[in-house]
Structure 1
Amino acid sequence: MTAFGGAFKGRRVLLTGHTGFKGSWLALWLQELGAEVVGLALPPDTQPGHWNLLKLGMEEHQVDIRDYAAVQKVVAQVEPAIVFHLAAQALVRRSYVDPLTTWATNVQGTAHVLEACRHTASVRAIVAVTTDKCYENQEWLWGYRENDRLGGHDPYSASKAGAELVAASYRKSYFGSENSTLLATARAGNVIGGGDWSEDRLIPDLVRASARGESVEIRSPQATRPWQHVLESLSGYLLLGQRLLERQPGFAEAWNFGPDESGNQPVSAVLSRLTQSWGELRWHVTGAPQPHEASLLQLDSTKARTLLQWLPVWGLDEGLRQTANWYRAYGEKGEAISRQQLADYVLAAKAKNIGWAV
Structure 2
Amino acid sequence: MFANAYQGRRVFITGHTGFKGSWLAAWLIRLGATVAGFSNGIPTEPSHFAAMRLADHLRDLRGDIRDRESLIRAMREFRPDVVFHLAAQALVRRSYANPADTFETNMLGSMNVLEAVRGCPTTRAVVMITSDKCYRNDEWVWGYRETDHLGGADPYSASKACAEIIAHSYFQSFFKDGPACATVRAGNVIGGGDWAQDRIVPDCARAWAAGQAAHIRSPWATRPWQLVLEPLSGYLWLGARLLGKGEPPRGCAFDPRGQAYNFGPAADVNNTVAEVAEALARHWPGFESRMNTAGQAEMKECTLLKLCCDKALAHLGWKATLTFEETIRYTAEWYHRFYQGQGDKQGMLDFSQGQIAAYVNAAEQRGQVWVR
Tell me if both proteins adopt one fold, taking TM over 0.5 as the criterion: yes
23-32 or 258-267, which deviates more: 258-267
- Structure 2 distance, partners of 1:284, 1:307, is 43
Q: Which shows bigger deviation, 45-54 or 139-148?
A: 45-54
1 CA distance for matches of 2:191 and 2:336? 12
Counterpart residue number, 1:50: 48
Q: Is the 8 A contact 2:65 2:71 kept in 1?
A: yes
Counterpart residue identity of residue 144, structure 1: Y
Please tell me whether the aligned partners of residues 14 and 86 of structure 2 are also in contact (alpha carbons under 8 angstroms): yes
Letter matched to residue 53 of structure 1? A
How far apart are the structure 1 equivalents of 2:166 and 2:332? Answer: 37
2:248 — aligned with what? none
Q: Does 1:329 align with 2:337?
A: yes
Higher mean C-alpha displacement, 270-279 vs 310-319: 270-279
The partner residue of 2:268 within 262, 273, 283 is 262
Deviations 1:151-181 (A, max 9, x none): 011111110011001101101110123xx21
**RMSD of equivalent CA atoms:** 1.4
Aligned partner of 1:278 in structure 2 is 284
Which residue of 1 is the match for residue 371 of structure 2? 357
| Distance (Å, rounded) in 2 between the aligned partners of 1:236 and 1:220 | 29
Question: Is residue 250 from structure 1 mapped to residue 255 from structure 2 by the alignment?
Answer: yes
Gaps of 5+ in 2: 246-252
Which piece of structure 1 moves more, 278-287 or 78-87? Answer: 278-287
**Which residue does 1:24 correspond to in 2?**
22
In the TM superposition, what are the counterparts of 1:74-223 in structure 2 within 5 Å? Answer: 74-177=74-177, 180-223=178-221
**Offset at 1:278?**
2.1
Q: Following the alignment from structure 1 to structure 2, what is the Cα–Cα distance between the partners of residues 354 and 69?
A: 41
Q: CA deviation at 1:275?
A: 2.5
Structure 1 residues 229-280: Cα deviation after superposition (integer angstroms, max 9, x where no partner): 0000100000000010118981021000010123211111222222322224
- Measure the CA separation in 2 of the matches of 1:9 and 1:119: 24
Aligned to 2:311, which of 282, 303, 310? Answer: 303
CA contact (8 A) 2:201 2:277 kept: no
Paired amino acid for 2:358: D
Displacement over 6 Å in runs of 4+: none
Cα displacement (A) at 1:92: 0.7
Deviates more, 1:241-250 or 1:259-268: 241-250
Secondary structure at the residue paired with 1:217? Answer: strand
Once residues 214 and 152 of structure 2 are traced to their aligned partners in structure 1, the CA distance between those partners, rounded to angstroms, is 28
Q: Distance in 2 between matches of 1:207 and 1:345?
A: 22
Structure 1 residues 13, 249: CA separation in 2 closer, same or farther (over 3 Å shift)?
Answer: farther
For 2:104 and 2:9, the matched residues in 1 are separated by: 30
d(CA) in 2 for partners of 1:312 and 1:339?
A: 19
Instruction: State the shift of 1:320 in Å.
Output: 0.4
Contact 2:212 2:287 in 1 (8 A): no
SS at match of 1:158: helix
Instruction: Measure the CA separation in 2 of the matches of 1:69 and 1:10.
Output: 27
From 301, 326, 342, give the equivalent of 2:356. 342
CA contact (8 A) 2:143 2:267 kept: no
- Residue identity matched to 2:235: Y
Asked whether the 8 Å contact 2:214–2:289 carries over to 1, the reply is yes
Alignment-mate amino acid for residue 142 of structure 2: W
Answer whether contact 2:16 2:25 (CA < 8 A) is retained: yes
Q: Secondary structure at the match of 1:262?
A: coil
TM-fit CA distance, 1:291: 4.4
CA distance in structure 2 between the partners assigned to 1:75 and 1:291 by the alignment: 40
Report the identity percentage. Answer: 48
Contact kept in structure 1, 2:281 and 2:288, CA below 8 Å:
no
Give the secondary-structure state (helix, strand or coil) at the position aligned to 1:126: strand
Distance 2:340 2:60 in 1: 30
* Aligned-partner Cα distance in 2 for 1:292–1:131: 17
Q: 2:12 is aligned with what amino acid?
A: L
Distance between the aligned counterparts of 1:267 and 1:281, measured in 2? 16
Describe the SS at the equivalent of 2:95.
Answer: helix
Q: Paired residues, what number? A: 354
TM-score, normalization: structure 1? 0.96
Deviations 1:271-293 (A, max 9, x none): 22223222243222335663421
Question: C-alpha distance in 1, partners of 2:287/2:127?
Answer: 38
Identify the residue that residue 228 of structure 2 maps to in structure 1: 230
TM-score using structure 2 length = 0.92
How far did residue 343 of structure 1 move?
Answer: 0.7
3-state SS of 2:306 partner: coil
Q: 1:26 to 1:98 in 2, by over 3 A?
A: same
